[in-house]
Amino acid sequence: MRLGFIGTGAMGFPMAARLARTGHELFVWNRTIEKARPLEQYGARVASSLDELSRVAEVVFVMVSDDEASREVLSAVLREGRPRIIVNHSTVSPMYTREAVEEAKRRGVEYLAIPVMGGPSDIERGEGVCIVGGREEVFREVEPLTSAYCKEHVLVGSQENASVIKLALNSMYFSALEALAEALLLVEAWNVEPKVFFDAASRLWLRVVVDRYAKRLLDEKYPTSFQLRLAAKDLHYAVFSGYHKGQPLPMLSELAKTFLEASTIGGLGRRDYTRIYYFLKRGSTG
């Protein structure tokens, strides 16, 4: 089968690399084309344009930043080519997903929303978790392909369901991180060593939060795995998705504001999202 992959950033690159090794013919495209070139070592071909990719690929995978980026690339894909199936892995709003599903339907193209849980290192090990929204028979066709990077697939019904569940899960991740960061700041303000606090928290069910975030949060040199600006984007999408249905989400609204400030005023947008701790501690550096 001829496949196309659009968006070879932190997540898209390892996904495309694993897809290339499935033995299918893979065409890749990235806005900054140099970032796609190293995929040639895995046998992928770099498409010179979205038009070229869209004309040849039967299944097109997308992994870009947000609603806007997705709208931009998919309008080109649907204008020029006629893939049979689009698999959108990007974390986008359910409002955008509805728009994209309708547009694809008008063009006679199957559309699956399959946002991914897990970071680039999970993908490299083939251990992502795919949240699958769309027609099951269409998903079963692409399952052997997405299995290259997802060890589990959770079928959740419609494409919109998948998008909103992804935002809800990320909201829980970021809330847990923020809770740990603020609790740590509180005890540190009273001269308690982080280790003493983490040890106490680890005796409780809070252990999972400590295990996941404690070291990463304190490590100022932790490499960026998930950018803070993308976490701010996800929180805003979550809040607006609630607003869209008349559902207030007061804690997430505050969190979205804090992450946006850290990302913009704090200048931490391209740093790892766990830098939120240093933003609250010092203001801007971290």
Ligand X SMILES: NC(=O)c1ccc[n+]([C@@H]2O[C@H](COP(=O)([O-])OP(=O)(O)OC[C@H]3O[C@@H](n4cnc5c(N)ncnc54)[C@H](OP(=O)(O)O)[C@@H]3O)[C@@H](O)[C@H]2O)c1
Q: Does 31 bind ligand X (CB under 6 A)?
A: yes
Q: Tell the smallest beta-carbon distance from residue 278 to ligand X (Å).
A: 19
Whose Cβ is closer to ligand X: residue 5's or residue 198's? 5
User: In terms of CB distance, is 64 or 210 closer to ligand X?
Assistant: 64
The residue sitting closest to ligand X, measured at its beta carbon, is 9
Interface positions, 177-196, toward ligand X (CB under 6 A) = none
252 C-beta neighbours (distance < 10 Å), count: 21
Stretch of residues binding ligand X (CB under 6 A), selected from 25-33, 134-142, 156-164, 196-204: 25-33
Does position 51 interact with ligand X (CB under 6 A)? The reply is: no
Q: How far is the CB of 215 from ligand X (least distance, A)?
A: 17
- Report which of 56, 25, 60 is spatially closest to residue 43, judged by C-alpha positions: 25
Contact criterion met (CB below 8 Å) for 126 and 151: yes
Q: Examine residue 4 and tell whether it contacts ligand X (CB under 6 A).
A: no
- 199-237 burial code (b ≥16 CB/10 A, e <16): eebeeeebeebbeebbeebeeeeeeeebbbbbbbbbbbb
Q: Within positions 107 to 126, which residues make up the interface with ligand X, using CB under 6 A?
A: 116, 119-120
**Burial label, 76 (beta-carbon count in 10 A; 0-12, 13-18, 19+):** middle
Q: Does the footprint of ligand X cover residue 35 (CB under 6 A)?
A: yes
Angle at 146 between CA 145 and CA 147, to 5 degrees: 85
Q: Which is nearer to ligand X, 129 or 218 (CB)?
A: 129
Q: Which of 64, 132, 217, 228 binds ligand X (CB under 6 A)?
A: 64
When the beta carbons of 31 and 98 are compared against ligand X, the nearer one is 31
* Pairing status of strand 128-132 against strand 116-117: antiparallel
Residues 131-170: x/- map of binding to ligand X (CB under 6 A)? ----------------------------------------
Query: Using CB under 6 A as the criterion, which residues of the chain lie in contact with ligand X when the complex forms?
Result: 7-12, 30-32, 35, 63-65, 69, 72-73, 90-91, 116, 119-120, 225-226, 230, 234
